[in-house]
Amino acid sequence: MRMKISSINSAAATVCAVMVCLLSSLPSFAQEAHVGNLTGNAKRGKENYQRYCIFCHGKYGDGTGDSAPYLDPKPRDFTKATFKCRSTPSGTLPQDSDLYDTISRGIHASGMPSWKPLTRQQRVDLVAYVKSFSPRFKEEKPGTPLTIPPEPGTSPESVKRGGDLFQSMNCWLCHGKEGRGNGPSAASLTDSKGYPITPFDLSGGTRFKCGESDPGLFRDLMTGLDGSPMPSFADALQPDQAWDIVHYIHALQASAKGRIAETTVEPKTEMKSQ
């Protein structure tokens, strides 16, 4: 009889443990988001998540949706609450506005498009639902946003200093000497989940992972892109040095455009017959 009761208690404990695991893996609809004068609601956000986001990010927000195996880079795993595009220090949670901006802007050179066709309220609701996948948003506060000082004017001297820093800080090991993402370390890089990841081609245009503005580039240098090999240089660079690197990146873009122009062949015109 005692053995029977013990078996029943053991089975009941197992069921309870399974239920706790299942419940803990489900998002909490109590989560909110605040962007400007808008308040996001996770329950409303779930509807649009299931319509637009689930195919890449998955039912549980872990980045394992049906389309995930075919995407490079891989979809973000929301359960880790680790985000590349933030205004906050490396290792801290993003502001709600950071997530909203990412949803609105998209992630350049990835499978993440801009969702500006959705209303502002729908995007804020999505932020609330995305936050519900990780308990970190209940346990921690977002980091303090980085203060971005005014950008000084560019100059040949600033570009030269930025180029020297690009070399001495070993940016070229990943991004390459010409910023084309083909440095000697590029082939061996992986993200925080072990997936291969390609360094960004800094010379290939005016758009970057987290936007296209100079303050955005400054921010990325100082906060890093969490979840990727791109670290924060907040402890290694002074603000004026970070601006010098921003100006050097623009010089890399101009140099790449010059190479393209030099290799462009004018079409031959046919001689008219007499």
What pLDDT tens digit does each residue of the chain (274 aa) get?
Answer: 554 545 545 544 444 444 444 444 455 556 899 999 999 999 999 999 999 999 999 999 999 999 999 999 999 999 999 999 999 999 999 999 999 999 999 999 899 999 999 999 999 999 999 999 999 999 999 999 999 999 999 999 999 999 999 999 999 999 999 999 999 999 999 999 999 999 999 998 778 989 989 999 999 999 999 999 999 999 999 999 999 999 999 999 988 776 544 444 454 444 444 4
Structural domain of 211? 156-260
Structural contact between residues 197 and 228, judged by C-beta atoms closer than 8 angstroms: yes
Query: Is there a domain that residue 8 lies in?
Result: no
Check which CATH number belongs to the domain holding 255 and give it.
Answer: 1.10.760.10
- Identify residue 60 by its one-letter amino acid code: Y
Residue 141 to residue 92: CA distance in whole angstroms: 8
pTM over 0.95: no
Task: Report the distance separating Cα 10 and Cα 157, nearest Å.
Answer: 73
Give the span between the Cα atoms of 133 and 79, in whole angstroms: 5
Nearest C-alpha neighbor of 24 from the set 109, 131, 106, 135: 135
Q: How many residues does the chain have?
A: 274
Domain count, the chain: 2
In angstroms, the CA 188 to CA 196 distance is 7
Say yes or no: 77 and 50 in one domain: yes
Whole-angstrom distance, CA of residue 2 vs CA of residue 125? 53
Tell me, what's the pLDDT at 247? 97
Q: Which of 91, 112, 139 is the last residue of a domain?
A: 139
Q: Which residues of 30-45 are buried (b: 16+ CB within 10 A; e: fewer)?
A: ebbbebeebebbbebb
The pLDDT value recorded for residue 28 is 54
Is 106 a domain residue? yes
Residues 127 and 162 grouped into a single domain: no
In this structure, the answer to whether residues 162 and 255 fall within a common structural domain is: yes
| Confidence at residue 255, expressed as pLDDT on a 0 to 100 scale | 84
